[in-house]
Each structure stands twice: as C-alpha cells, then as structure tokens.
Copies of this chain bind each other. A is one copy, B any other.
Amino acid sequence: MTQTAPATAQDLDLESPEAASVNTRERILDAALDLFTEQGFDGTSLRQIAEQLGVTKAALYYHFTSKDDILLALHMRLHEAGRDALVQMGDEPVTLEQWGTLLDQVVDQMLAQRKLFLMHERNQAALEKLHRKDHDAEHEDIQNQFRRVLADERVPLRDRVKMAASVGIVFSGLLLSGEAFADSSNEELGTMLRDIIRDVLRG
C-alpha cells in the first residue's frame, strides 16, 4: 500500500531539532490507527498503544490531552485528505457529472489511505460521540456534507439514489483491497471502480 498523504511517520525520517517529538506524535497516531482499525476505539486501551511503541501510558499524555484527542487527530488526517477532493459544494444542487468527478478523487484517496477510511467506517459510534462534544463552529464534517447533498430535494430521487449507490461502490473498495484482491494493484482496482461508478451515474 502506497502512502500519498503527508504527515505520516514514514515521511519524517530525517529529523530537525524539534522533529523528535513530531515524529513521536505521528508514531503514536500510526499505532493508534492500526489498533483502532483492528480492535475498535473502545476496544483499544492506551496501554496497548504505548506498549506497541515501547513507551508507557503516561508518555502519551505529553503528546495528547486525552484518548479522544488521539481519535480527533486521526479524524483531522482524513479531513485534510478530503479537503482537496471536496470541491466547493455550495447551495446549488449537485449534478451527476459533478458527483462523478468528486467520487473519482475519493476513490484515489480511499485506495491510498485505506486504513484511515476503514477506521472511520468501523468507529462511527465513537466518532459521533466525539463530534457531540466538539460542536464548536459546526465543523462541517465531510460525512455531513455528503448527507446534505443526498438529502437535497431539488435533485430528483432517482439521481440521489444513483449518487448514494456510487458512494457504496467506493466503499466496497475497502472490502476489496483488504484480502480478497491482494494480488491486483490499486491502479487496477481504481480504474475498475471508476468505470462502474461512471456507468451507474450515466445509466
């Protein structure tokens, strides 16, 4: 799996004076991402994260104020990754063409950051609880933005169902790139998924 996004530990091998702590912070996030994806947020203890890094529980609290803070930082990773793909979806109704263009980018992001997407899909309950506390400034979450577009009654029902189905196809890629399709490359899968999505939106 190739990483295209910045801000992961692998990109920061050479360290500037203060990069040691930055590196540690990212290493904590990488370990947490693994564990949260496999065992769930609530099913993972800070002790496990610390053990995987070879430090103690208390060390984590130097880099993060709470366990929720770690989850929030991972949520921000996805939010930043989606910033590019998220065009200005203003108040005008979205067309099927615009939706297709958007999802083409989301497919790429998803294949490049598979674990991050998977973590979000498998910890929706914990993320929602987090969002209830951090209701500062109406974060305008990606997921909410998607929901808002799909709920727009100015778009014909049939088109909205097509748009939702296309989203489902994107996330089927999470299932795909897991184990059943380990032999095929991301580019191959991405091309096929985009083809199917295009047919659905135009058909």
Contacts and interface: CB of A to CB of B under 8 A. Distances in A.
Contacts of A171: 168, 171-172
Interface centre among A151, A161, A162, A181 (most CB of B within 10 A): A161
Interface size class of A (residues with CB under 8 A): 35 or more
A73 interface: no
Interface stretch (A2-10, A78-86, A88-96, A119-127): A119-127
Interface in A159-198: 160-162, 164-165, 167-173, 175-176, 179-181, 184, 188-189, 192-193, 196
A147 B180 contact: yes
Contacts of A147: 175, 179-180
A189 B199 CA distance: 19
A183 to B, nearest CB: 8
A150 interface: yes
A129 interface: yes
A172 B164 CA distance: 6
A15 interface: no
B196 A162 contact: yes
A181 B124 CA distance: 20
Interface of A: 38-43, 121-126, 129, 147, 150-151, 157-158, 160-162, 164-165, 167-173, 175-176, 179-181, 184, 188-189, 192-193, 196, 199-200, 203
